[in-house]
Chain A
Amino acid sequence: MIEVKAMMVGVVVRVDAGPGTPVDEDQPIVTLESMKMELPIPSPRSGLVREVRVHVGDVVQEGDVVALLEEREG
């Protein structure tokens, strides 16, 4: 299981891929607002989102785990 971490401090504005959603590499899982931009936290690999640990409105810090991803092989 891969821990998907916030790359920087920000406020969660959207959960793009909830638990059970298959995602491709670079597809957004959660979107933060930070630095006057909407910054997606893209999936580091192709796989299945197993768990999302944040909700809209949460403030996350850099390095916080926002989701768990099960990697799809191949």
Chain B
Amino acid sequence: MSTWQEKLNRLRAEKGRFRQMGGPERVARQHAMGKLTARERLDLLLDPGSFVEIGLLAHHQSHHPDLKDKFAPADGVVTGYGTVDGRRVCVAAYDFTVLGGSMGEVGEGKVARLRQMALQWGVPMIWLLDSAGARIQEFTGSQFAKAGDLFREQVMMSGVVPQVAALMGHCAAGTAYIPALADFVPMVKGRSSMALGGPHLVKAAVGEDVDVNELGGSRVHCEISGCADVEVEDDEACLRAVREFLSYLPSNNREKPPVIPCDDPSDRYIDDMVNVVPTNPRQVYDMRHVIRRIVDHGHFFEIKPRWARNIVVGFARLEGHPVGIVANQPLYLGGVLDVDAADKAARFIMLCDAFNVPLLFLQDIPGFLVGTKVERQGIIRHGAKMLYAVSEATVPKVTVIVRKAYGAGYFVMCGRGYEPDLLVAWPTAEISVMGPEGATNIIYRKEITAADDPDRVWAERTAEFRKLIDPYIAAGYGYIDDVIEPGETRRVVIQGFRMAATKRVQRPWKKHGVMPV
């Protein structure tokens, strides 16, 4: 019979052994790659001393010849819960120093338990991904039949608790679908990737020679595919981004987003706003300068800043309350909407609505892109996603028409028909089915072609049409709520959100709509 002292010694020794992860050599290699270890990452992500680990003493139970003599502390994934800014979260940090952070049966059992807890407790689920993907030896042959429940569970969690999947290493297959279903996906620049099939599989399956960054690196997903949200410099910046993202969202869909103290005056007049936006509709500007002047302390957390740059989406605060911003970006493509921009906006609107974050729309929209290329890409279908998302959103919505509000672009950017709680325009607003030049070409085509001096007739008709698209006409009919000075924008939108804070919307019963994906 061992004594208490002996029992405690064994417990302490075991825990010490498991906390060493893959051992000093593998930890050194992880550091040499510019990466922190799973445990160091948790220290940075969570409030100091808040982490409670579950499953430290787990290890693989495989009898496979490749594995049976290998020690796998925590089975390659550190799991548990803790707090971020004092609010509880569940987190799974894949440990690349243990069998490449591969997803084994025991480890996945731990993560499954954590997912269940996150859902039942109503707290965010965070994955720090640095994993080779499924541990093939444990899923040999048709044992695979048991796998896959994690993605179904992620779908069940969607819109209930925030899900964050941070890519902090090279991830393939299994670990690439987790981000696909997550609400926020930061990627560490140059050191992370995701792909359904890694380079070896790609070579074998389709004969393509490609390196891991070219295939699914941070630049690919943050600039081309749109599968990730932000590219960050290193692990520290990545974990800061996760903490900031969570600061804008409630812990679950039944709560309101957290409010922080704010000393930026709510009625602050923005003197230099008129210097940002040219009155000449031919000239462009950077919409982010408008956003930063409106929001608290000029701080804007942009989502997908390098993908579909013709629309800007992201989080900020007004009077300390989180707000989601959807704004056209004249700097890119004049702010015209294409398939990717519509996808980007629709997904962001759905995220905000799911988690009770009010939406601010800033319109300067020349319309949807037209032509064979975009029609073949299905611009109608993609544009419909935005219509769908903005219609479904029942959170407070405030719309400011900065300049152009043309055609269906005006609709999807929360025009009058989409139930904004407040709809105001700057004196520069041009609300119209289309721009004067395009409209003239269509309405007066016969007259212009028959005229002796077509250019003069065209110019006259265009000037006449331009007079019809004046915000005072829309205001005169009561279709817009007010025409405001650009400098008043912060005060006016804050008042709108204050009034709409208690908004309740009843919708007809349905199982779910049919999203035009």
Which residues in A have some Cβ–Cβ distance to B below 8 Å? 7-8, 26, 34-40, 42, 44, 62, 74
**Can you pick out 16 interface pairs between chain A and chain B where the beta carbons lie within 8 Å of each other?**
A7-B332, A26-B331, A34-B334, A35-B334, A35-B366, A36-B282, A37-B283, A37-B366, A38-B284, A39-B284, A39-B333, A40-B331, A42-B331, A44-B223, A44-B306, A74-B233
In the complex, whether B286 has a CB less than 8 A from a CB of chain A is yes
Contact B284 A37, beta carbon cutoff 8 Å: yes
Contact A37 B281, beta carbon cutoff 8 Å: yes
Contact B332 A42, beta carbon cutoff 8 Å: yes
- Name the distance in Å between A3's Cβ and chain B's nearest Cβ: 13
In the complex, whether B435 has a CB less than 8 A from a CB of chain A is yes
B366 / chain A contacts, CB cutoff of 8 Å:
35, 37
CA A42 – CA B223 in complex, angstroms? 14
When C-beta atoms are compared, the residue in chain B nearest to A9 turns out to be B371
CA A37 – CA B284 in complex, angstroms? 8
In the complex, whether B336 has a CB less than 8 A from a CB of chain A is yes
Interface-centre pick from B286, B330, B334, B435 (highest chain A CB count, 10 A): B334
Contact B331 A7, beta carbon cutoff 8 Å: no
**B421-438: which have CB < 8 Å to A?**
435, 437
- Other than A26-B286, A36-B282, A42-B331, give 9 A-B pairs with Cβ distance below 8 A: A7-B332, A8-B333, A26-B331, A34-B334, A35-B336, A37-B281, A37-B283, A40-B331, A44-B306
- Name the distance in Å between A48's Cβ and chain B's nearest Cβ: 18
Other-chain residue from B283, B333, B437 in contact with A38 (beta carbon distance below 8 A): B283
When C-beta atoms are compared, the residue in chain B nearest to A74 turns out to be B233
**B263-292: which have CB < 8 Å to A?**
281-284, 286
CA A8 – CA B309 in complex, angstroms? 14
A40 / chain B contacts, CB cutoff of 8 Å:
284, 331
When C-beta atoms are compared, the residue in chain B nearest to A42 turns out to be B331
A42 / chain B contacts, CB cutoff of 8 Å:
331-332
The 3 nearest A-B residue pairs measured at CB: A37-B334, A37-B282, A7-B333
CA A74 – CA B284 in complex, angstroms? 28
A26 / chain B contacts, CB cutoff of 8 Å:
286, 331
User: Chain B interface secondary structure, helix, strand, loop or mixed?
Assistant: loop
User: Chain A interface secondary structure, helix, strand, loop or mixed?
Assistant: loop
- Name the distance in Å between A57's Cβ and chain B's nearest Cβ: 18
Contact B437 A36, beta carbon cutoff 8 Å: yes
A62 / chain B contacts, CB cutoff of 8 Å:
373
When C-beta atoms are compared, the residue in chain A nearest to B306 turns out to be A44
Contact A38 B286, beta carbon cutoff 8 Å: no
CA A35 – CA B336 in complex, angstroms? 10
CA A35 – CA B371 in complex, angstroms? 12
CA A37 – CA B306 in complex, angstroms? 22
When C-beta atoms are compared, the residue in chain B nearest to A8 turns out to be B333
Contact B283 A36, beta carbon cutoff 8 Å: no
- Name the distance in Å between B344's Cβ and chain A's nearest Cβ: 15
Interface-centre pick from A7, A35, A36, A38 (highest chain B CB count, 10 A): A35
A38 / chain B contacts, CB cutoff of 8 Å:
282-284
Other-chain residue from B330, B373, B435 in contact with A36 (beta carbon distance below 8 A): B435
CA A45 – CA B331 in complex, angstroms? 15
CA A38 – CA B437 in complex, angstroms? 15
Interface-centre pick from A38, A39, A44 (highest chain B CB count, 10 A): A39
Contact A39 B334, beta carbon cutoff 8 Å: yes
Write the B304-338 contact mask toward A (1 if CB under 8 angstroms, else 0): 00100000000000000000000000111110100
- Name the distance in Å between B371's Cβ and chain A's nearest Cβ: 9
When C-beta atoms are compared, the residue in chain A nearest to B223 turns out to be A44
B336 / chain A contacts, CB cutoff of 8 Å:
35
CA A38 – CA B330 in complex, angstroms? 10
When C-beta atoms are compared, the residue in chain A nearest to B334 turns out to be A37
**B170-201: which have CB < 8 Å to A?**
none
A44 / chain B contacts, CB cutoff of 8 Å:
223, 306
CA A38 – CA B282 in complex, angstroms? 6
When C-beta atoms are compared, the residue in chain B nearest to A41 turns out to be B332
**B363-397: which have CB < 8 Å to A?**
366, 373
- Name the distance in Å between A50's Cβ and chain B's nearest Cβ: 19
When C-beta atoms are compared, the residue in chain A nearest to B373 turns out to be A62
CA A62 – CA B281 in complex, angstroms? 22
CA A62 – CA B233 in complex, angstroms? 31
A34 / chain B contacts, CB cutoff of 8 Å:
334
A7 / chain B contacts, CB cutoff of 8 Å:
332-333
CA A33 – CA B456 in complex, angstroms? 22
CA A42 – CA B233 in complex, angstroms? 22
CA A37 – CA B332 in complex, angstroms? 11
CA A39 – CA B333 in complex, angstroms? 6
- Name the distance in Å between B433's Cβ and chain A's nearest Cβ: 16
CA A7 – CA B330 in complex, angstroms? 13
CA A35 – CA B368 in complex, angstroms? 12
CA A26 – CA B283 in complex, angstroms? 16
CA A24 – CA B288 in complex, angstroms? 15
CA A12 – CA B333 in complex, angstroms? 14
Interface-centre pick from A36, A37, A39, A62 (highest chain B CB count, 10 A): A37
CA A35 – CA B434 in complex, angstroms? 12
CA A62 – CA B333 in complex, angstroms? 11
CA A2 – CA B306 in complex, angstroms? 14
CA A26 – CA B285 in complex, angstroms? 11
B333 / chain A contacts, CB cutoff of 8 Å:
7-8, 39
